[in-house]
Protein backbone atom coordinates (compact mmCIF):
# COMPACT_ATOMS: atom_id res chain seq x y z
CA UNK A 1 0.00 0.00 0.00
CA UNK A 2 1.39 3.34 -0.99
CA UNK A 3 1.40 6.28 1.39
CA UNK A 4 -0.86 8.40 -0.81
CA UNK A 5 -3.75 5.95 -0.35
CA UNK A 6 -3.53 6.52 3.39
CA UNK A 7 -3.74 10.25 2.66
CA UNK A 8 -6.89 9.73 0.58
CA UNK A 9 -8.39 7.57 3.35
CA UNK A 10 -7.75 10.33 5.89
CA UNK A 11 -9.10 12.92 3.46
CA UNK A 12 -12.31 10.91 3.08
CA UNK A 13 -12.62 10.53 6.86
CA UNK A 14 -12.14 14.25 7.32
CA UNK A 15 -14.78 15.08 4.74
CA UNK A 16 -17.26 12.69 6.33
CA UNK A 17 -16.70 14.20 9.77
CA UNK A 18 -17.08 17.72 8.37
CA UNK A 19 -20.40 16.79 6.76
CA UNK A 20 -21.59 15.21 10.01
CA UNK A 21 -20.63 18.26 12.05
CA UNK A 22 -22.26 20.70 9.64
CA UNK A 23 -25.58 18.83 9.55
CA UNK A 24 -25.82 18.00 13.27
CA UNK A 25 -24.74 21.25 14.93
CA UNK A 26 -25.10 22.26 17.71
CA UNK A 27 -25.66 18.79 19.17
CA UNK A 28 -23.75 15.61 18.43
CA UNK A 29 -25.66 12.98 16.46
CA UNK A 30 -27.81 10.82 18.74
CA UNK A 31 -27.31 7.72 16.59
CA UNK A 32 -23.84 6.21 17.24
CA UNK A 33 -24.33 3.40 14.72
CA UNK A 34 -25.25 5.90 12.01
CA UNK A 35 -22.17 7.93 12.89
CA UNK A 36 -19.98 4.85 12.52
CA UNK A 37 -21.59 3.86 9.21
CA UNK A 38 -21.13 7.35 7.77
CA UNK A 39 -17.52 7.50 8.99
CA UNK A 40 -16.67 4.19 7.34
CA UNK A 41 -18.55 5.29 4.20
CA UNK A 42 -16.46 8.47 4.10
CA UNK A 43 -13.18 6.58 4.36
CA UNK A 44 -14.17 4.04 1.74
CA UNK A 45 -15.52 6.81 -0.48
CA UNK A 46 -12.22 8.66 -0.26
CA UNK A 47 -10.28 5.60 -1.35
CA UNK A 48 -12.81 4.64 -4.02
CA UNK A 49 -13.01 8.17 -5.46
CA UNK A 50 -9.23 8.48 -5.56
CA UNK A 51 -8.90 5.06 -7.18
CA UNK A 52 -11.52 5.84 -9.84
CA UNK A 53 -9.84 9.14 -10.63
CA UNK A 54 -6.44 7.51 -10.77
CA UNK A 55 -7.64 4.71 -13.05
CA UNK A 56 -9.63 6.94 -15.41
CA UNK A 57 -6.77 9.37 -16.05
CA UNK A 58 -3.27 8.69 -17.28
CA UNK A 59 -0.84 10.00 -14.63
CA UNK A 60 -3.16 12.55 -12.91
CA UNK A 61 -1.94 15.39 -10.75
CA UNK A 62 -2.29 14.72 -6.99
CA UNK A 63 -4.75 17.59 -6.58
CA UNK A 64 -7.11 16.04 -9.11
CA UNK A 65 -6.97 12.70 -7.29
CA UNK A 66 -7.64 14.48 -3.98
CA UNK A 67 -10.69 16.12 -5.55
CA UNK A 68 -11.86 12.67 -6.64
CA UNK A 69 -11.38 11.44 -3.08
CA UNK A 70 -13.49 14.32 -1.73
CA UNK A 71 -16.20 13.64 -4.32
CA UNK A 72 -16.24 9.93 -3.52
CA UNK A 73 -16.43 10.55 0.22
CA UNK A 74 -19.25 13.06 -0.21
CA UNK A 75 -21.16 10.68 -2.47
CA UNK A 76 -20.93 7.70 -0.13
CA UNK A 77 -21.74 9.77 2.96
CA UNK A 78 -24.81 11.09 1.15
CA UNK A 79 -25.87 7.56 0.26
CA UNK A 80 -25.32 6.43 3.85
CA UNK A 81 -27.34 9.39 5.15
CA UNK A 82 -30.16 8.70 2.71
CA UNK A 83 -30.47 4.96 3.15
CA UNK A 84 -28.87 4.49 6.56
CA UNK A 85 -31.88 5.36 8.69
CA UNK A 86 -32.40 8.34 10.97
CA UNK A 87 -29.43 10.67 11.10
CA UNK A 88 -30.48 13.00 13.88
CA UNK A 89 -30.13 16.03 11.62
CA UNK A 90 -32.23 19.04 12.49
CA UNK A 91 -33.67 20.63 9.39
> DSSP letters along the chain, please?
--HHHHHHHHHHHHHHHHHHHHHHTTSPPS-HHHHHHHHHHHHHHHHHHHHHHHHHSSS--HHHHHHHHHHHHHHHHHHHHHHSS------
Domain ranges of the chain: 3-83
What rounded mean pLDDT belongs to the chain?
Answer: 81
Residue 22 has pLDDT above 60, yes or no: yes
pLDDT in tens, 55-82: 898 878 888 888 999 999 988 888 888 8
Residue with more model confidence, 34 or 57: 57
Amino acid sequence: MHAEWLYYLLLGLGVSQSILIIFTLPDPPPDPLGWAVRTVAGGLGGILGAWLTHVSMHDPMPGVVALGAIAGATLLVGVARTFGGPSGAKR
